[in-house]
Structure 1
Amino acid sequence: MNFTTYQQVFESILQDANPAAPYNNPDYLNYTKLNWSRQQRWLKTGVLNEEIISAVKNITEPQQWIVITEPWCGDASHIVPFLYKIAELNPLIQLDIQLRDTPPFLIEQYLTNGGKSIPKLVIRDNENNDLAVWGPRPAGCQALYDQLKAANANFEQMKIELQQWYNEDKGRSLQQELLSVINSTCSTSVA
């Protein structure tokens, strides 16, 4: 689905008086409400740096950017808006959002340490060859997550600290990592 359809799916979950699983669980529904607010905030306030803008505008061959995600995913609420904004910079990039927990279960091909961690970005060329895979979160955020997990932090503490990390980072780490991915594996021309 494209980003507009993803937004519609997201909104329909929030407006449904009896949402389907897992959103019938109040915790999941609350995560989704928070994630909607976060996503909308980044769509309005997220700033792309000049390096990523230049690199993406210089892509000269068609690419498909597949984002595997779910509305309940906290990390995705901070990452997907930036991926959308970046993909919009070049008409050669087609953004396709796939839900992790819905057929065709594309996540099965892109596990992280055996788990279905999201979001995942898969960049493919015009012949459906994978050029790059990124995700589920920037390295600095992943290090914080691993540290909290090793310290047996409770879920509430993990949510708060990861949220603070994203708010302070403002998408900069994601853009630096994507810049490296784009420059090393994607077809670009010299500006």
Structure 2
Amino acid sequence: MNTITDLKTTIQNALKNSLSYEGFKTLVSNLINKGQSTGHTQNEDMLNYSKLSIKRIKRWDKSFKLSENDMAFFKNQSKPITFLVLAESWCGDLAHALPIINAIAEASPHIDLKVVLRDDNDELMQEFLTNGGKSIPKLIALDDENNVLFTWGPRPTEATEMVKAYKDKHGQLTDELKENLQKWYNKDKG
């Protein structure tokens, strides 16, 4: 992408096709009931990851609470911000991060959470790659004119370092790392 105008157009197009947090969860549940996941790749693994993700999302929705200090901080946020999150249902990191992002958005009347599917928004994803990859979730914080304030993702710093160290040592991500990463998320509690 060459210009800020092009990026703003890409962002506006993504926002037009975005889902609310509840809308995303409903879409995922409906697709699972049809034996599908979000994303352009459909197979048994993606379906199983999606089933696991929606269970984790629902668990975090019930169990995660912002601290009083965090709640006060976000409640006092006075400027309108949109959290635009690139997501897919099969993403393990998303299952832990999106409920926390939603809790932050719910804490402030000025933060609006919008979710878009990565595979359906490749032009947007290309603008916000992580080390050249389409890693998700990717939160893009926007002001009221759709200027990018900051980005976050695909995972917290400690988890990112854990993944990088494992990749450096083993050359790839394995089921062992994924299991250890899930244990880390559960221990960290958001």
Shorter chain as normaliser: what TM range? 0.7 to 0.9
1:39 to 35, 57, 61: 57
1:188 matched residue in structure 2 = none
What is the TM-score with the length of structure 1 in the denominator? 0.84
The offset of 1:122, in angstroms, is 0.9
The gaps in structure 2 that reach 5 residues or longer are 1-18
1:128 matched residue in structure 2 = 146
2:111 matched residue in structure 1 = 93
1:77 equivalent in alignment to 2:95 = yes
The offset of 1:106, in angstroms, is 1.6
Length, aligned pairs only: 171
Written as runs of structure 1 = structure 2, the 5 A alignment for 1:16-27 is 16-17=34-35, 22=40, 24-27=42-45
What is the TM-score with the length of structure 2 in the denominator? 0.84
2:10 matched residue in structure 1 = none
Query: Identical aligned pairs, as a percentage?
Result: 38
Written as runs of structure 1 = structure 2, the 5 A alignment for 1:45-60 is 45-60=63-78
Written as runs of structure 1 = structure 2, the 5 A alignment for 1:1-191 is 1-17=19-35, 22=40, 24-103=42-121, 105-152=123-170, 155-171=174-190
Distance in 1 between the 2:92 and 2:85 partners? Answer: 15
1:185 matched residue in structure 2 = none
Two-structure CA RMSD over aligned residues (Å): 1.7
Distance in 1 between the 2:65 and 2:123 partners? Answer: 32
How has the CA–CA distance of structure 1 residues 67 and 154 changed in structure 2, closer, same or farther, with 3 Å as cutoff?
closer
Distance in 1 between the 2:89 and 2:37 partners? Answer: 13
Paired AA for residue 77 in structure 1: A
Contact 2:28 2:37 in 1 (8 A): no
The gaps in structure 1 that reach 5 residues or longer are 172-191
